[in-house]
Amino acid sequence: MHGSDAPKLDMDRMVDSVLAGDRVALGRAITLIESAKPEDRARAQSMLDRLNPRTGNAIRVGISGVPGAGKSTLIDQLGLNLIAKGHKVAVLAVDPTSTRSGGSILGDKTRMGRLATEENAFIRPSPAGDSLGGVTKTTRETIALVEAAGYDLVLVETVGVGQSEIAVANMVDIFVVVALPGAGDELQGIKRGLLELADIIAVNKADGDNVHRAERAAADYRVALHILAAGHPDWQPVVLTVSARENLGLDALWAKIEERQAELKASGALAKRRSEQAVTWMRELFDQRLVASFKDSRRAARQWSELEAKVRDGQVTPAAAAEQLAKLLGRHEP
């Protein structure tokens, strides 16, 4: 065997093992796509290209909600229920704050402790210390990998307090917002922007003394959504009450998810949504690449930091600075 064949054979083996559902290979493949080294990026891209025909077969569900709403507990229980029905469940996270807050969304493994030990579950925390753009890229590519590995349900957890929920909404088929019980019109701190992304709102912790409050919160959400959804005939969000801890209402939640997915598929909306997502994704990647290669140019980098300082001091307006930088794009120099 020639030495130069080794990387190719290595890649063949990795692709075959991922397709065979080998968890170790899947873990290695994800590590490869998380890598920022240029040589790894080329290998990652060729791996993704080869796996591409075997992707797209999962139901992709985003799970968002304020901190403490019970997202992880819900994913743990729902995941177990679905594994019992014969599904293979992958759980990913989009959490660009994981280093700042000192713990990843899934770092607290106890909340998914039961699912984590299941043969047919694959849990991958958000890569630490990356920007939202970086985490988004990794998560999208990881969705493709787990689909190629035979997982038929992908759950993506994210906290609904920043931009990450929009990033997640742009990579899933169905977006679920986990809400807390509690009456009152402030709707427990959930931003309108988050509600507008929701296909399903699951008011969680509908157990013990909370049952009544959860029902009232659900009624409040129905009213709020009814108003928000006016003028959007394609958007018909539903509200359910569940208890992740007591495993109540989760079958109904799953039935809704499956029903929605089936409707989307039958009407062609799913294919449309996914191709729109692909185009948006291409644009985002291009923007990222453009900015990165621009900053790689020494002259541009120098100008960039000088102008940034001037904008900070108020010497130059942001618009004028952007205009000056854009002019550099027309010139070709290292």
* 13 or 109: CB nearest ligand GTP: 109
Q: What are phi and psi of 62, to 5 degrees?
A: -90, 140
Of 66-74, 78-86, 269-277, 283-291, the segment contacting ligand GTP by CB under 6 A is: 66-74
Closest CA to 254 of 202, 306, 298, 314: 202
| β partners of residue 229 | none
Question: What separation, in Å, do the N-terminal and C-terminal C-alpha atoms of the chain show?
Answer: 40
Order of strands, sheet of 121-124, starting from the edge strand that comes earlier in the sequence:
121-124, 89-94, 153-158, 59-64, 174-179, 200-203, 238-241
Q: Is position 113 an interface residue for ligand GTP (rule: CB under 6 A)?
A: no
Q: Is position 72 an interface residue for Mg ion (rule: CB under 5 A)?
A: yes
One of 34, 58, 73, 224 touching ligand GTP (CB under 6 A):
73
Q: How many residues bind ligand GTP (CB under 6 A)?
A: 17
Q: Is position 158 an interface residue for Mg ion (rule: CB under 5 A)?
A: no
Site string for ligand GTP, 280-299 (x = CB under 6 A): --------------------
Q: Which does 244 bind (CB under 5 to 8 A by kind): Mg ion, ligand GTP, none?
A: ligand GTP
CA distance 93 to 41: 21
Q: Which does 73 bind (CB under 5 to 8 A by kind): Mg ion, ligand GTP, none?
A: ligand GTP
Name the residue number minimizing CB distance to Mg ion.
72
One of 32, 34, 70, 146 touching ligand GTP (CB under 6 A):
70
Q: How would you label 56-94 residue by residue, b for 16+ Cβ within 10 Å and e otherwise?
A: eebbbbbbbbbeebbbbbbbbbbbbbbbeeebbbbbbbb
The Cα-based distances of 73 to 46, 247, 334 in angstroms read 36, 10, 51
One of 78, 94, 105, 217 touching ligand GTP (CB under 6 A):
105
Residues that bind ligand GTP (CB under 6 A): 65, 67-73, 105, 111, 159, 204-205, 207, 243-245
